[in-house]
């Protein structure tokens, strides 16, 4: 047992525990994959401490270490892979290709040094790589890369350079993980920098490992300590990513309605101020539209708050689709929504806009697997004709909405909507 590895082992264990604690507050499939991948690296580190200080490692320990390298690399590539690709296809693609590499490293770990023994693994690697690239990923470029990679392995095996064949294959696996994380993670993330750097260093160490062992074996212990450093760097990067996403999520929740995802009152106030300033500079008009769902309380009372929440989400979706990119829709609270509509020339244009939204909202929607028609009442105020102050605009639009809501025509619309629902 090499006790010199204990500090590195303890540090890695501690970081994995911290990552697991952070994951409890920010649980997702990617974080689970990160933990699984780091668990394999922890097993590898534990097995590494039992290596003999000199000579060839024990076969069982060597197989465990190499298998953990492969499994961790596959899991990390899974976590960094294209999430738009179907889950079952990604699993099939990575699993089959990882199996070929696992067979290759196992043969090497068992200290079998006969070229013919490696041929089946190489042939299988080529066939599986080409087959999955064409039929699963639909990508001939990937197929060509697999042919090139496994051909290089075959050449190295034919030259009896088994170590280079295995470790250069692992270098490719971890270099791909570095590239995938580079493409998938947020551009300006500190955690991304740590993760990509860590995997790049890992790939570099796999690439240089044969040279170190052949020419500088006496310094292998020093190389091993540096080797373990990038594992901690990757762990720290993953913790940073999760914390950064948690902060971003908290910032988003502070400015958005959690149920509908629409801007909340705070964000809307800022957007309204910006819209007023824009209209003032461009000498244009804007409309502030307030809408309230008719008889929403009755929906909550008769069908429950779950149905009411579903109605609010459906209405929010309709509103998002009904406005332009320059407009803003927000949920003020309850069943009340508000829209800032820019570049509205006059009241007639606003009325046409509200009529189109009313028609969209009053189309039957499915709630609890049943069709329902929900009515809405509208009120609006225009800048600068009605008021030049955001607070006065909102108060005036709100007053007009409640005034129009009490008119008989709206009572008839409410009755018609409920009649459709009861039918």
Distance CA 100, CA 103 (A): 5
Q: Which of 330, 319, 339 is nearest to 257 (CA)?
A: 330
Distance CA 353, CA 369 (A): 30
Give long-range contacts, CB 8 A cutoff, 24+ apart: 397-406.
397/288, 397/289, 397/290, 397/338, 398/290, 400/290, 401/290, 401/291, 401/292, 401/377, 402/292, 402/377, 403/379, 404/377, 404/378, 404/379, 405/292, 405/294, 405/377
The residue assigned the tokens 């790589």 is: 129
Torsion sign over Cα 199, 60, 113, 144: negative
Instruction: Annotate 109-142 with b (16+ C-beta within 10 A) or e (fewer).
Output: beeeeeeeebeebbebbbebbbebbeebbeeeeb
From 8, 292, 327, 335, the catalytic residue: 335
Burial level of 353, CB count in 10 A (0-12/13-18/19+)? Answer: buried
Q: Does the active-site annotation cover 335? A: yes
> CA of 109: how far to CAs of 9, 176, 189, in Å?
22, 23, 38
The helix (run of H) or strand (run of E) holding residue 277 is: helix 265-282
Tokens of 384: 């600068």
- Beta strand 336-342 with 365-367 is unpaired
- Say how far residue 11 (Cα) sits from the centre of its chain: 28
Contact by Cβ (8 Å): 121, 103? yes
User: CA triplet 315, 317, 318: central angle to 5 degrees?
Assistant: 65
User: CA triplet 103, 107, 111: central angle to 5 degrees?
Assistant: 160
Catalytic residues: 335
């Amino acid at each position: 047992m090499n006790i010199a590895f204990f500090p590195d082992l303890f540090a890695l264990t501690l970081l994995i525990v911290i990552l697991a604690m952070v994951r409890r507050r920010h649980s997702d499939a990617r974080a689970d994959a990160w933990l699984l991948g780091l668990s394999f690296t922890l097993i590898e580190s534990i097995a590494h401490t039992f290596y003999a200080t000199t000579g060839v490692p024990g076969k069982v320990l060597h197989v465990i270490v190499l298998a953990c390298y492969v499994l961790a690399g596959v899991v990390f590539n899974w976590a960094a892979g294209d999430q738009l690709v179907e889950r079952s296809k990604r699993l099939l693609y990575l699993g089959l290709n990882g199996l070929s590499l696992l067979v290759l490293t196992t043969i090497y770990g068992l200290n079998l040094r006969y070229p013919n023994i490696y041929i089946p693994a190489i042939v299988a690697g080529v066939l599986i790589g080409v087959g999955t690239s064409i039929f699963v990923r639909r990508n001939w470029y990937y197929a060509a890369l697999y042919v090139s990679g496994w051909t290089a392995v075959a050449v190295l095996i034919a030259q009896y350079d088994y170590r280079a064949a295995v470790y250069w294959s692992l270098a490719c696996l971890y270099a791909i993980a570095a590239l995938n994380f580079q493409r998938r993670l947020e551009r300006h993330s500190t955690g991304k920098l740590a993760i990509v750097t860590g995997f790049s260093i890992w790939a570099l160490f796999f690439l240089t490992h044969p040279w170190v062992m052949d020419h500088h074996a006496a310094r292998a212990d020093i190389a091993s300590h540096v080797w373990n450093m990038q594992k901690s760097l990757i762990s720290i990067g993953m913790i940073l990513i999760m914390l950064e996403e948690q902060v971003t999520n908290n910032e988003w929740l502070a400015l958005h309605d959690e149920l509908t995802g629409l801007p909340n009152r705070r964000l809307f106030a800022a957007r309204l101020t910006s819209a007023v300033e824009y209209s003032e500079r461009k000498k244009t008009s804007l409309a502030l539209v307030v809408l309230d769902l008719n008889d929403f309380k009755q929906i909550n009372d008769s069908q429950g708050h779950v149905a009411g929440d579903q109605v609010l989400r459906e209405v929010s979706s309709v509103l998002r689709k009904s406005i332009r990119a320059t407009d803003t829709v927000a949920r003020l609270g309850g069943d009340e929504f508000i829209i800032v509509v820019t570049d509205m020339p006059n009241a007639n244009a606003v009325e046409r806009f509200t009529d189109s939204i009313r028609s969209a909202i009053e189309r039957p929607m499915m709630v609890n697997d049943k069709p329902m028609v929900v009515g809405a009442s509208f009120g609006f105020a225009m800048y600068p004709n009605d008021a030049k102050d955001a607070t006065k605009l909102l108060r005036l639009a709100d007053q007009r909405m409640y005034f129009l809501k009490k008119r008989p025509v709206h009572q008839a619309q409410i009755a018609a909507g409920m009649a459709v629902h009861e039918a």
